[in-house]
Structure 1
Amino acid sequence: MTAPQHHHDTLRWGVLGATSYIATHLMPAIAATDGCALSAVASRPERAAAAAELGRRFGATVHRDYAALLADPGIDAVYIPLPNTGHVEWTLRALAAGKHVLVEKPMAMDEDGCARIEKAAEAASRTVMEAFMYRFHPQQRRAADILASGEIGELRLVRASFAFRIESGSDNIRLDPALGGGATWDVGCYAVDAPLLFFGQAPERVRARFSSRPGLAVDTSAVATMDFGQGRSAVVDYSIDYGPRAAYELQGTHGTVMVRNAWAMDAEDGVVTVLTQDGVREETVPAADHYRLQVDAFARAVRDGVPAPMSLSDSRRTARVGSALVASAAAGGAAVETSDDAPEPR
């Protein structure tokens, strides 16, 4: 993809869904980003009143359903935050309609779904990116810069812990197995992504143990280890039983970098702590809206015809590791191979 892929000055967005999460985080981010406009919204019939209210608030057209929004020739890009089981289908439908797509994580719950999306994106010459907003906060770049500087030596271990509690009986879609619920495909995506991001590769193998809160049919907590070879590892935990927690540590041969609030919201400064033999220092990273930075990065990729910063191969890797954690837990914590040269999905 080298040529810019649309010819308007403004990238006109449509949003599939009308939940409070979308209304609080993504819609304002789209509306506030230079060169982007929130042009349309669609919802399920039972959310029609919420969609109408959002349409009024953002000056967006309200479509009767998702398919009608995709058929709107005035829309260049769509954001898809539907339940996990709908991500592949609606991403493929959006690509078939000629739209660029920002799809909520997980892009797919197996590597094959990501491969199908990659093929369709190529055929349509459209940009697709999985939404990992935490990657766009400047504190992640700062942590990566400290690691690259050699100050903490060679990276040996990543510890990542991502969790927030969801109450039983709350009708939250994350508690519904039929909608791809559970901790692994929700907060687990972040816990998995952090070590892959900093090691820059898939682990060779993973082991996981899941637990489920009594009365729930989805995994609600997990502890997993990842073996990256050459003595390099990751230890991750994630949960919808406890929290909130969104922290990771990069352990090098000569020191540690800690980010204790990887989900810092737009009014919160980021804090990066560096611990070496010379002592401890805390660096403050000025507050930033990582949702807006994510939208801006995606829009830039579309405009310039360059690959999105969260690449489709990154997404395939995350899906492969997530699937392997599920397989390991089902096998009582047995090791499951996940390396980048593992067999291609059929």
Structure 2
Amino acid sequence: MKPLRWGVLGATAHISGRVLPAIHRTPGNVVAAVASRPGRQAAAAEVARPFGARVHDGYDALLADPDIDAVYIALPNTRHVPWTLRSLDAGKHVLVEKPMALSEEDCVRIERAAADLVVMEAYMYRFHPQQVRAAELLASGEIGDLRVVRSAFAYPTATEGNIRFDPALGGGATWDVGCYAFDVPLWAFGADPLRVRATFHSREVDLSAVATMDFGDGRSAVLDYSLEYGPRAAYEFQGTRGSISVRNAWTSPVEDGLITVVTLDGVRDEVVPAADAYEHQTAAFAEAVREKVTPLVSPAHSARTARVGEALVRSAATGAEVTLRRRP
């Protein structure tokens, strides 16, 4: 099997510590090149060295490399769209950190540009065995019809020099931890909410939020997320006959997963052995490339997520409930 050769745009500590090692450990995948901003080759070389990867001075140089099959985009939020489009134009498959885009319109642009290439938003938790098991339990009908999703992701974050707090780069809690929190009810219900309402605590950017979503027919979601309090990382599905709780939803690669199922028949815990979500994500993306199939986190799902993120931001800005327009 020919290996999938990866290039990386953006040499951050998170990428060098979590993402690249996972790609390197996943069979059939090779970290082939790392690109830095012009003049920052020394920093990129430090990231590339453990993997024997080439270093390109500038992102365009990496995209011109004929020996790169797929690109991981780890740039600030506002740079995801232009560099995803340029990567697709260069004939590269793309795995881009969330958020893929800050608007539904830009997600649609990316989907149209992809043609026969694979493009996927990096919601790595969707590929973790704990998440897979939670989805299986929900689909089994053991807790009856799903009525309420509760989701929370929060951790206090240092502000000094942190791009998460730069409004010019698409910073703020909504497009960081919030993406995960409101992604959960979207896939769980498999639908768009009809209405959303959000309240933000903000300074230059939103730092915390509490939000509700109305999916109709008595189905709702309640979520909170924050860059200023925590830690908290959990979600719960409440059905007509019981609940499923995931208490460490965005678990580390050395932490066992823990799912609790409560029904009228009793309570049970299921332990999911520790696993690296980034490895599972890499394997799934590579399979989508080789099999030429739509990935689990599809461009259509990304457009839905961006659409909801836009609505939450609009609700917080106006102080009013926002009704989402129906898509054609």
Counterpart position of 1:157: 148
2:65 counterpart letter in structure 1: D
Of residues 54-63 and 313-322 in structure 1, the stretch that sits farther from structure 2 once superposed is 54-63
Matches within 5 A, 1:266-281: 266-281=253-268
Question: Which of 157, 165, 168 is equivalent to 1:166?
Answer: 157
* Counterparts of 1:48 and 1:19, CA distance in 2: 13
Counterpart position of 2:33: 40
* Counterparts of 1:191 and 1:121, CA distance in 2: 27
Counterpart position of 2:179: 189
SS of structure 2 residue aligned to 1:265:
coil
Question: Which of 198, 201, 208 is equivalent to 2:198?
Answer: 208
Question: Which of 298, 308, 317 is equivalent to 1:321?
Answer: 308
* Counterparts of 2:327 and 2:285, CA distance in 1: 30
1:21 counterpart letter in structure 2: H
Counterpart position of 1:140: 131
The Cα shift of 1:240 comes to 0.2
* Counterparts of 2:10 and 2:327, CA distance in 1: 36
The Cα shift of 1:182 comes to 0.2
2:80 counterpart letter in structure 1: H
Does the 8 Å contact 2:39/2:57 carry over to 1? no
* Counterparts of 2:257 and 2:141, CA distance in 1: 21
* Counterparts of 1:98 and 1:269, CA distance in 2: 38
SS of structure 1 residue aligned to 2:206:
coil
Counterpart position of 1:338: 324
* Counterparts of 2:232 and 2:124, CA distance in 1: 16
1:221 counterpart letter in structure 2: S
* Counterparts of 1:224 and 1:12, CA distance in 2: 41
The Cα shift of 1:167 comes to 2.1
The Cα shift of 1:46 comes to 6.1
> Is 2:50 aligned against 1:63?
no
* Counterparts of 2:194 and 2:253, CA distance in 1: 36
* Counterparts of 1:46 and 1:224, CA distance in 2: 43
SS of structure 2 residue aligned to 1:167:
coil
* Counterparts of 2:20 and 2:231, CA distance in 1: 24
SS of structure 1 residue aligned to 2:296:
coil
* Counterparts of 2:35 and 2:152, CA distance in 1: 34
> Is 2:219 aligned against 1:228?
no
Counterpart position of 1:255: 242
Counterpart position of 1:22: 15
* Counterparts of 2:80 and 2:301, CA distance in 1: 16
* Counterparts of 1:163 and 1:114, CA distance in 2: 26
Q: 1:70 to 1:155 in 2, by over 3 A?
A: same
Counterpart position of 2:229: 242
* Counterparts of 1:268 and 1:315, CA distance in 2: 28
* Counterparts of 2:44 and 2:24, CA distance in 1: 16
Q: Give the number of equivalent residue pairs.
A: 328
Runs of 4+ that moved beyond 3 A: none
> Is 2:170 aligned against 1:177?
no
The Cα shift of 1:50 comes to 2.1
The Cα shift of 1:161 comes to 0.2
The Cα shift of 1:141 comes to 1.4
Q: Which runs of no fewer than 5 residues in structure 2 stay unpaired? A: none
Give me the CA root mean square deviation. 1.2
Matches within 5 A, 1:72-83: 72-83=65-76
1:78 counterpart letter in structure 2: V
* Counterparts of 1:70 and 1:330, CA distance in 2: 38
Does the 8 Å contact 1:260/1:271 carry over to 2? yes
1:336 counterpart letter in structure 2: V
Residue-by-residue CA offset, 1:57-112 (whole Å, 9 max, x unaligned): 11000000111001101100000010000000000000000000000000000001
TM-score of the two chains, using structure 2 as the length reference:
0.98
Q: 1:178 to 1:295 in 2, by over 3 A?
A: same
* Counterparts of 1:92 and 1:148, CA distance in 2: 35
> Is 2:77 aligned against 1:84?
yes
Does the 8 Å contact 2:12/2:74 carry over to 1? no
* Counterparts of 1:244 and 1:74, CA distance in 2: 41
